[in-house]
């Protein structure tokens, strides 16, 4: 079996083949197969399991945007309870492609009764900046939200062996670490490119 892999033709030329040592070619094909198999999980994980988990954590009281804001504050905020409003907006707009006014509406609903989950206050370091701070009620709701999420996932894994669950957790941890490392490398590359452009 040939280990040559075709590459796209240029301007009508006959495609050339990239020469791979046998071991590298086998590894490449295995990675291609695994990537294809993983891609098939995108829809069921992101749109079915992910949204079902999100619905459980909303507890019938929050919108998808609002529960994402609570989770974002927990994951990236100071002590899991405080985050700059502009950082929340930057992240949420990337995820949901919604307007700044829609995020303001979501936060306003979270700040008002009957929810009263957050307070929007001035940043002590800049009067122009706002910070979103979880209230005591917000922290309590967040803990209930996490409990609902754990219950949802526990029901899913009851029919799966402990070994498979452990391997799955390990795989996801490594995959997320690889993703974050790739994002950091891209940011550094973009920063270097921007500095080079500014000097030019």
Q: What is the pLDDT of residues 82-105, one digit of tens each?
A: 999 999 999 999 888 899 999 999
Work out the burial of residue 198: count CB atoms within 10 Å of its CB; fewer than 13 is exposed, 13-18 middle, 19 or more buried. Answer: exposed
Name which of 116, 17, 94 is nearest 103 in CA terms.
94
pLDDT at 184 > cutoff 90 = no
Q: Taking the domains of the chain in order of start, what are their residue ranges?
A: 49-155
- CATH class of the region 49-155: mainly alpha
pLDDT-above-90 percentage for the chain = 66
Q: How many CB atoms lie within 10 A of CB 141?
A: 23
Higher pLDDT, 189 or 41: 41
Confidence of residue 1 (pLDDT cuts 50, 70, 90): very low
Whole-number Å distance between alpha carbons of 88 and 123? 14
Mean per-residue pLDDT, 117-134: 91
In a 3-state reduction of DSSP, which class is residue 64? helix
Give the global pTM.
0.74
The 10s digit of each residue's pLDDT in 16-37 is 555 556 777 788 888 899 999 9
């Amino acid at each position: 079996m040939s280990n040559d892999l075709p590459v796209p033709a240029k301007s009508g030329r006959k495609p050339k083949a990239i020469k791979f040592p046998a071991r590298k070619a086998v590894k490449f094909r295995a990675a291609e197969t695994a990537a294809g198999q993983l891609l098939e999980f995108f829809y069921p994980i992101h749109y079915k399991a992910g949204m079902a988990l999100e619905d459980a954590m909303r507890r019938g009281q929050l919108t998808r945007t609002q529960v994402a804001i609570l989770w974002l504050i927990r994951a990236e905020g100071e002590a899991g309870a405080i985050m700059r409003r502009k950082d929340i907006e930057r992240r949420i707009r990337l995820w949901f492609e919604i307007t700044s006014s829609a995020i303001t509406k979501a936060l306003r609903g979270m700040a008002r009764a009957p929810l009263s989950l957050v307070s929007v206050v001035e940043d002590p370091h800049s009067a122009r900046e706002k910070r979103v701070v979880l209230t005591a009620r917000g922290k309590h709701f967040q803990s209930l939200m996490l409990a609902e999420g754990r219950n949802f996932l526990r029901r899913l894994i009851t029919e799966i062996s402990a070994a498979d669950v452990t391997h799955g957790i390990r795989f996801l941890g490594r995959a997320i670490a690889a993703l974050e490392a790739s994002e950091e490398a891209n940011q550094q590359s973009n920063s270097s490119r921007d500095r080079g452009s500014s000097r030019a």
